[in-house]
């Protein structure tokens, strides 16, 4: 208990799409400075800013070419310093992305590394010779890349392959090399000494790789998606303990690992258990795909898989509580918009507000993703040019150009899941370009900005934005702040097919959250608790109804 980040409410900023201050169509650091008043108005006290380092922007900044410099797209080092000071004046802490798994191929280390096998930087990356099968040159292993195709890229200069589990412009660093780890320690320390308050550690699960042996998966694909070959291996924990001991432990900061690759609660505990001295919490992806999205038929509406979602929340809430800390969120820049994904366009406001209640009264440090608080939705993609994400373009090349998939089918299929859904321009007002810039933005502006935007929602007391503000305020400033931050989580009526019930209890205070995760009217049985107060409800109830309306959500103080 006691650590500041246990009572923080986070807000993630995808800098490229957030606010453009100099009208070049690209969001920037001064844009964030301009919007600090808005963030204070929303009430959050922590921001996570996506990468702003120097980069050729193959993957919008997750491909860093200089860790000690800011991309000219985004501003200068002075801007960052000013942002830190001004945010701190408003009691907003700042965490930044720490990109440890890879650099850009334009980073000086890689430029050197690829020159020759005996270059001093050669072992900064993972190189391996080709195999020859029936006289054909073949990659060192058959492992897949997260972005499509092989996880290896051939480099003619030295006739070897380098590993890249993301794009070909993002070679993986070789963490076995102590010199690489020293460089990372130095860089991490540099940013902390500038005054930032912690990190979201990108792709941290993948720092360790297993021996270079083929996957034995019997799948159709040429490259096998056996992510376990480079996810959550024991060695990652040695690396993190070293980083913690040499840097993190010297500052009062928060560290949150992005832990994918099919992580289990047991894996997560190895990162966040305080006695292991690694990280404070992790973002897991388990709840990201709990609907009929992947299997939907043409024209079929998306629908939450209620039982699957409740089971996942149960697993993570009870699996970590008392053993480590938790991070909670609906989406980030790698997922579809939650209002489209789990919300319902026929009950747009009700479902968006219900989702907020459902998530943000749970246990763990919450993160809102920019635009979520106004109910931003997925855009409509019409052709491949509407997509900006490198991974979609890779998949397009493989599926449509090389394997002749029908382009319309391809676009229908990826539109549901693409990361571009979350990366459209932040909708500030109903002015041209949604008030983001005076110039044409780098990415799509969703047409619905005329009705879904910050400016209009500020003045509408029933808006999604004002509902989010209430939740942030209750969570941070009300008499319920301790029970929400520290209260024990317990799910009730686990088998209920429409409603999600959970109780939070801290000392004698108890709150009960009830959410209807469906578009149906649902009768509810008498509660076995005495109701003291209705803390918040999306149907503005004065008393608990006998029948819950579609997507109704209510939070009660009970005894």
Closer residue to ligand NOJ (CB): 71 or 538 = 71
Site residues for ligand NOJ, 50-79, by CB under 6 A, read: 59, 62
Min dist CB 96 to ligand NOJ, Å, is 13
Helix (H/G/I), strand (E/B), else coil: 375: coil
Binding residue (CB under 6 A) for ligand NOJ from 53, 166, 387, 436: 166
Radius of gyration of the chain (CA): 24
Residue tagged active-site, from 97, 105, 258, 457:
258
Q: Give the number of other Cβ atoms within 10 Å of residue 275's Cβ.
A: 7
Report the C-alpha gap between 261 and 277 in whole angstroms. 22
Helix (H/G/I), strand (E/B), else coil: 480: coil
Q: How many residues are present in the chain?
A: 559
Closer residue to ligand NOJ (CB): 62 or 271 = 62
Closest residue (Cβ) to ligand NOJ? Answer: 62
Is the CB of residue 110 less than 8 Å from the CB of residue 125? yes
Closer residue to ligand NOJ (CB): 239 or 551 = 239
DSSP codes of every residue in 310-345: HHHHHHHHHHHTTTS--EEES--TTS--HHHHTS-G
Burial grade of 366 (CB within 10 A; 0-12, 13-18, 19 or more): buried
Closer residue to ligand NOJ (CB): 444 or 476 = 444
Does 420 engage in binding with ligand NOJ (CB under 6 A)?
no
Min dist CB 197 to ligand NOJ, Å, is 20
Q: What is the DSSP letter of 385?
A: G
Residue tagged active-site, from 202, 286, 334, 344:
202
Burial grade of 113 (CB within 10 A; 0-12, 13-18, 19 or more): buried
Does 96 engage in binding with ligand NOJ (CB under 6 A)?
no
Closer residue to ligand NOJ (CB): 18 or 480 = 18
Min dist CB 202 to ligand NOJ, Å, is 5
Min dist CB 50 to ligand NOJ, Å, is 8
Is the CB of residue 207 less than 8 Å from the CB of residue 14? no
Binding residue (CB under 6 A) for ligand NOJ from 197, 334, 372, 420: 334
**DSSP strand pairing (531-537 vs 509-516):** unpaired
Closer residue to ligand NOJ (CB): 188 or 317 = 188
Binding residue (CB under 6 A) for ligand NOJ from 32, 94, 203, 368: 203
DSSP codes of every residue in 105-125: TTSHHHHHHTT-TT-TTGGGB
Is the CB of residue 115 less than 8 Å from the CB of residue 127? no
Closer residue to ligand NOJ (CB): 28 or 202 = 202
Site residues for ligand NOJ, 240-269, by CB under 6 A, read: 258
Report the C-alpha gap between 481 and 473 in whole angstroms. 9
Report the C-alpha gap between 411 and 429 in whole angstroms. 29
Closer residue to ligand NOJ (CB): 99 or 555 = 99
- 36: nearest Cα among 52, 49, 53: 49
> Within 159-305, where are the H helices?
178-193, 234-246, 265-272
Helix (H/G/I), strand (E/B), else coil: 9: coil
Does 202 engage in binding with ligand NOJ (CB under 6 A)?
yes
Active site residue 258: yes
# binding residues, ligand NOJ (CB under 6 A): 8
Closer residue to ligand NOJ (CB): 63 or 457 = 63
Active site residue 202: yes
DSSP codes of every residue in 394-462: HHHIIIIIIT---HHHHHHHHHHH-GGGGGSPP---SSGGGGS-SS--SS---GGGGTS-HHHHHH-TT
Report the C-alpha gap between 350 and 515 in whole angstroms. 11
Min dist CB 15 to ligand NOJ, Å, is 12
Q: Which two tokens stand for residue 96?
A: 């930044």
**DSSP strand pairing (93-99 vs 198-202):** parallel
Min dist CB 59 to ligand NOJ, Å, is 5
Min dist CB 258 to ligand NOJ, Å, is 6
Closer residue to ligand NOJ (CB): 421 or 518 = 421
Q: What is the DSSP letter of 150?
A: B
Q: Which two tokens stand for residue 519?
A: 């578009």
Closer residue to ligand NOJ (CB): 258 or 557 = 258
Is the CB of residue 36 less than 8 Å from the CB of residue 92? yes
| CB-facing half-sphere around the CA of 473: CA atoms within 13 A | 11
Point out which residues bind ligand NOJ (CB under 6 A). Answer: 59, 62, 166, 202-203, 258, 333-334
Catalytic residues: 202, 258
């Amino acid at each position: 208990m006691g650590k500041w980040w246990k009572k923080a409410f986070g807000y993630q900023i995808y800098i490229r799409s957030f606010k453009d201050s100099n009208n070049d169509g690209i969001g920037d650091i001064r844009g964030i400075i301009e919007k600090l008043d808005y963030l204070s108005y929303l009430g959050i006290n922590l921001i996570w800013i996506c990468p702003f380092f120097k980069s050729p922007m193959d993957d919008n900044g997750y491909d860093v070419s200089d860790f000690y410099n800011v991309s000219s797209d985004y501003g200068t080092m002075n801007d960052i310093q000013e942002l830190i000071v001004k945010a701190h004046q408003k009691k907003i802490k700042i965490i930044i992305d720490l990109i440890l798994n890879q650099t850009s191929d334009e980073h000086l280390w890689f430029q050197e590394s690829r020159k020759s096998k005996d270059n001093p930087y050669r072992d900064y990356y993972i190189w391996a010779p080709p195999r020859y099968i029936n006289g054909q040159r073949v990659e060192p292993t058959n492992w897949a890349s997260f972005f499509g195709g092989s996880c290896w890229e051939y480099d003619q200069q030295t006739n070897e392959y380098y590993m890249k589990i993301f794009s070909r412009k993002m070679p993986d660093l070789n963490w076995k090399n102590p010199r690489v780890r020293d460089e990372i320690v130095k860089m991490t320390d540099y940013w902390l000494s500038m005054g930032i308050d912690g990190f979201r550690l990108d792709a941290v699960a993948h720092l360790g790789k297993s021996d270079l042996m083929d996957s034995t998966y019997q799948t159709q694909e040429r490259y096998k998606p056996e992510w376990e070959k480079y996810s959550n291996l024991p060695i990652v924990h040695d690396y993190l303990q070293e980083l913690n001991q040499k840097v993190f432990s010297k500052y009062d900061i928060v560290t949150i690992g992005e832990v994918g690759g099919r992580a289990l609660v047991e894996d997560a505990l190895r990162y966040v258990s305080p006695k292991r001295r690694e990280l404070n919490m992790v973002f897991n992806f388990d709840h990201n795909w709990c609907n009929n999205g992947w299997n939907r038929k043409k024209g079929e509406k998306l629908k939450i898989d209620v039982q699957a979602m409740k089971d996942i929340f149960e697993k993570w809430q009870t699996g970590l509580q008392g053993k480590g800390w938790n991070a909670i969120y609906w989406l980030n820049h790698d997922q579809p918009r939650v209002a489209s994904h789990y919300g319902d366009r026929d009950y747009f406001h009700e479902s968006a507000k219900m989702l907020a209640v459902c998530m943000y009264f749970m246990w763990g440090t919450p993160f809102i993703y920019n635009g979520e608080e106004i109910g931003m939705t997925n855009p409509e993609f019409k052709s491949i040019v509407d997509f900006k994400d490198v991974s979609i373009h890779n998949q397009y090349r493989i599926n449509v150009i090389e394997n002749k998939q029908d382009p319309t089918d391809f676009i229908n299929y990826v539109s549901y899941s693409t990361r571009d859904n979350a990366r459209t321009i932040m909708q500030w007002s109903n002015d041209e370009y949604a008030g983001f810039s005076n110039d044409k933005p780098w990415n799509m502006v969703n047409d619905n900005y005329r009705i879904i935007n910050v400016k209009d929602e500020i003045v509408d007391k029933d808006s999604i934005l004002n509902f989010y503000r209430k939740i942030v305020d209750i969570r941070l400033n009300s008499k319920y702040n301790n029970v929400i931050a520290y209260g024990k989580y317990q799910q009730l009526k686990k088998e209920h097919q429409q409603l999600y019930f959970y109780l939070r209890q801290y000392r004698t205070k108890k709150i009960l959250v009830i959410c209807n995760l469906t578009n149906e009217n649902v009768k509810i049985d008498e509660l076995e608790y005495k109701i003291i107060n209705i803390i918040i409800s999306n149907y503005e109830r004065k008393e608990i109804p006998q029948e819950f309306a579609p997507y109704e959500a209510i939070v009660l103080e009970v005894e």
